[in-house]
Amino acid sequence: MPDRGENREYLIEFKVVGNAVKVSAVDPLTMTEVSIVGPLTAGEEELKRNAVNKLKYRLKQLEETERQQKGRGRLV
């Protein structure tokens, strides 16, 4: 899995849904995507930071799972 370094760039999308904002964050190297929903009153930077933090958490989970499965043979 690619490095999860702090210098990575992510794709961020904001979509207004009623009185809330759906924020999607995508890692272009792994094509991993996560979403959060926040209030319209929340600041864009706060929403973006929360989405990126969730994405980093998910990437860490995937990396740990991959590391645990190495050397275990093939999962069918």
Write 48-53 long-range contacts (CB < 8 A, 24+).
Answer: 48/12, 48/23, 50/23, 51/12, 51/23, 51/24, 51/25, 52/10, 52/12, 52/25
In tens, the pLDDT along 2-60 reads: 555 567 899 999 999 999 999 999 999 999 999 999 999 999 999 999 999 999 999 99
CA–CA dist 51, 23 (Å, integer): 7
pTM: 0.81
Q: Which domain holds residue 25?
A: 11-68
**Is residue 4 in a domain?**
no
**Is residue 73 in a domain?**
no
If one counts the domains in the chain, the total is 1
**Is residue 21 in a domain?**
yes
